Structures are given as C-alpha cells and as structure tokens.
C-alpha cells in the first residue's frame, strides 16, 4: 500500500536538473530510505544511486540529479536497497520549471510600456511572458501575459511611479502537468521612462514638496489675515477714538519760534493782529477824517496846522481797544478826540489830554 500512498514532488529545473522530494518523517519515521533513478528504457535499465540527498533532520527527504532524457523512472527502497517502497515512471518534460527571464528590457513610449527578454533555447512555444505592475496608489499587482518573449500594456500615467516584475510561465496542460512558473525577475521601478532606485524616494520627494507648499500657503494666509485685522482695527479705532490733533501742527510758530512760551506768543500774535486790522481799516479812517475836516472847515481856517478827528463809533461803544485801530495821520498839528480823550499831535509828538 505504500506505493500508492507515497506523495512525491517532481521539478525539472529548465530541463537541466531534476529534484524529487518526499515526506520522510511522516512516511518513514523509523527508517532512512534510499533513492535510485534511470533515464533508460526497456528491459536493460541501469539504475543510478542518488548523487545528492536532501535532508530533513538527518533523514533523506529528497534527491537532486542531472536531467538526462525525457523519460524518467524512480525507485525508493529501504536503506540497504533490498526492499522497494515506491516506484514511478514519468515524462520529465511535463515537470519543467523555467528559469528567470534573461536580459529584460523596458521600452516606454507615452502611456505604453513594452517589456521583452531573450528567448530560451528550448520549448519557446510552451512559454509565456507575464508582466505584473502596480503604482504607489495600488494595493494589488496588475497582470498582463503574452507570448514569449514580449509583452506590452497601455494606460500608464507618466506622473506616477510604477513597480514592474516579469517571469516565464509554462502552459498547462499542453506542456506541463503541473503549473510551474519561473521565479520573478528582480523588481524595477520606473517613472515616465526613467529608472528609479525606489518609488519611496518619489513619494518622499512629493510629500516634502507638498509640505513646503502647504507651509508657504499657510504663512501667506496668516499674513493676509493679519493685514485684514489691522485694517479693521484701524477703522474701529478711528470710529471709537478719533485722533486728537497735534498742537505742533496747528500752532507751529508757538513751538518753532517761541519754544512753547505761550505768553510771548500771545503778545506777538495780538500785536500782529492789531497791525493787520489797522492796515485793513486805514481807508475807512481816512474817509472819516476827511468828513470831519469838511464839518470843521471853519475851525481849521483859524488853526491851519491843527485837525480834529472824532471817532463816534468808538466813543459810543466805549471800546477801550478800539483806540488800537484808530488811524492817526501825521499832520503838523492834529487834535483827535477818541473815547473821551483828546490827543494832540504836533509833528512827531503825541499828547493825550
């Protein structure tokens, strides 16, 4: 019953080496078995012992030997070879596991990527080239299979970084009874036709760019908010607390000419105002004086060098400051009556009576 119960794993590595394994500890827990094989056919078979055993805790669990033909016969016996536990005859070509693709090249044109490799020397019709890829935004691999030894795919975004890997597959069941594929070729990283060391570098660079731009945008936004708040605050301050005018601008001469001496500035200002008003009212004084001369014409004849001026407005109003605005004409002898006083002017001498 052991011949039917024993399970073996058979792999023909690219039709170069054969590997046959079995579960030694489970099938033969108390005995270390021996293995023999032959590629000969017919009655005159030459059995060869296993050149290289595979061990499992010091128990023979497999054998590795060279592939010498399409037909293989194997036998598992006890340690001295006197009793056969298992035997099988098989086609070694149905258990081929291809090698990795060699000289893999990538051709990137716009959104299309074409991957190719060298053709194997044997059984090219039984092989297929599989391409798998994914971007940094994909969780699972995307697959594309084509005849050996070129495969192409469209729809790649030149702005994304992609991971690529390829392998060779044997057709089942036309060429293999077991679905054996080659190991994956080393994974490569591409972006818009440029080979990269890793897509993580692209992610880091983009993340750093995003961080820098975000910081700049945040700073600009804060500056804008601060400027808006300042404008609002200035308007509120003007409406609630109006600006107090600076006396330096209103009374510039008080601080520039008099160093803030208010009394000196008032005296000078009053004197300037009196002179200005006298000059402005001089024509009126002359007119009134001429009118008074006409009324007192007879009196002037007796005293030709004396003239009398009467300021009725000043007398009626009894304004003591009005004397500052009286215009006295320097005649030879003049008598002016003003606010109850009489002023005698003789040449450059003024006498108040």
What confidence tens digit (pLDDT) does each residue in 103-157 have?
Answer: 999 888 888 899 999 988 888 899 999 999 988 888 889 899 998 889 988 888 8
Q: Residue 58: is the preceding peptide bond cis (ω within 30°)?
A: no
Highest mean pLDDT among 76-85, 90-99, 227-236, 315-324: 90-99
- The pLDDT score that the predictor gives to residue 311 is 44
Residue closest to 186 by CA, chosen among 96, 101, 121: 101
**Section 312-321 average pLDDT:** 45
**Section 67-87 average pLDDT:** 89
**Section 246-266 average pLDDT:** 65
Task: Judge whether 8-96 and 98-196 match in fold.
Answer: yes
| Whether domain 98-196 has CATH 2.60.40.10 | yes
Q: At 249, is the pLDDT very low, low, confident or very high (cuts 50, 70, 90)?
A: low
Task: Check whether 53 has a pLDDT greater than 90.
Answer: yes
- The pLDDT score that the predictor gives to residue 246 is 59
- The pLDDT score that the predictor gives to residue 85 is 87
Candidate CATH numbers 3.40.50.1110, 2.40.50.140, 3.40.50.1820, 2.60.40.10; the one for domain 8-96? 2.60.40.10
Task: Check whether 332 has a pLDDT greater than 50.
Answer: no
**Section 325-351 average pLDDT:** 45
**Section 314-332 average pLDDT:** 43
- The pLDDT score that the predictor gives to residue 41 is 82
Which tops the pLDDT comparison, 259 or 61?
A: 61
Which of helix, strand or coil describes residue 145? strand
Q: At 260, is the pLDDT very low, low, confident or very high (cuts 50, 70, 90)?
A: low
pTM over the 0.85 mark? no
Q: What span, in angstroms and rounded, lies between the C-alpha atoms of 68 and 71?
A: 9
- The pLDDT score that the predictor gives to residue 34 is 92
* Cβ pair 176, 193 in contact under 8 A: no
pLDDT tens column, 274-283? 555 555 444 4
- The pLDDT score that the predictor gives to residue 123 is 83
pLDDT tens column, 304-316? 444 444 444 444 4
Q: At 49, is the pLDDT very low, low, confident or very high (cuts 50, 70, 90)?
A: very high
Highest mean pLDDT among 93-97, 250-254, 342-346: 93-97
Q: For residue 59, give every residue at least 6 positions away whose Cβ sits within 8 Å of its Cβ, in sequence order, or none.
A: 24, 25, 28, 32
Residue ranges per structural domain of the chain: 8-96, 98-196
**Section 89-104 average pLDDT:** 92
Q: What span, in angstroms and rounded, lies between the C-alpha atoms of 327 and 283?
A: 9
Q: For residue 351, give every residue at least 6 positions away whose Cβ sits within 8 Å of its Cβ, in sequence order, or none.
A: 343, 344, 345
Percent of the chain with pLDDT over 90: 25
């Amino acid at each position: 019953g052991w011949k039917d119960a024993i399970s073996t794993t058979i792999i023909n590595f690219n039709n170069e080496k054969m590997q046959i394994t079995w579960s030694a500890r489970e099938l033969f827990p108390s005995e270390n078995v021996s293995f023999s094989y032959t590629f000969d056919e017919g009655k005159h078979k030459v059995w060869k012992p296993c050149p290289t055993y595979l061990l499992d805790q010091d128990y023979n669990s497999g054998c590795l030997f060279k592939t010498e033909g399409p037909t293989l016969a194997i036998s598992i016996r006890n340690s001295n070879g006197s009793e056969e536990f298992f035997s099988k005859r098989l086609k070694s070509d149905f258990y081929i596991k291809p090698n990795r693709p060699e000289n893999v090249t990538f051709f990137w044109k716009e959104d299309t990527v074409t991957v190719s490799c060298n053709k194997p020397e044997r059984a090219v019709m039984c092989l297929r080239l599989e391409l798998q890829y994914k971007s940094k935004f994909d969780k699972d691999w995307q697959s594309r299979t084509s005849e050996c030894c070129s495969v192409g795919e469209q729809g790649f975004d030149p702005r994304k970084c992609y991971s690529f890997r390829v392998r060779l597959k044997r057709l089942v069941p036309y060429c293999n009874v077991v679905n054996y594929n080659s190991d994956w070729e080393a994974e490569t990283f591409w972006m818009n036709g440029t080979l990269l060391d890793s897509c993580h570098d692209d992610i880091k660079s983009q993340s750093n760019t995003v961080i820098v731009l975000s910081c700049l945008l945040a700073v600009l936004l804060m500056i804008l908010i601060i400027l808006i708040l300042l404008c609002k605050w200035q308007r509120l301050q003007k409406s609630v607390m109006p600006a107090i005018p600076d006396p330096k601008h209103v009374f510039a001469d008080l601080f520039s000419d008099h160093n803030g001496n208010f009394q000196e500035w008032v005296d000078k200002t009053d004197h300037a105002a009196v002179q200005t008003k006298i000059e402005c009212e001089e024509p009126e004084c002359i007119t009134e004086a001429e009118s008074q001369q006409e009324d007192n014409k007879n009196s002037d004849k007796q005293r030709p060098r004396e003239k009398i001026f009467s300021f009725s407005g000043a007398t009626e109003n009894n304004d003591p400051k009005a004397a500052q605005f009286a215009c006295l004409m320097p005649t030879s002898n003049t008598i002016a009556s003003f606010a109850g006083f009489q002023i005698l002017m003789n040449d450059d001498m003024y006498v108040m009576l």
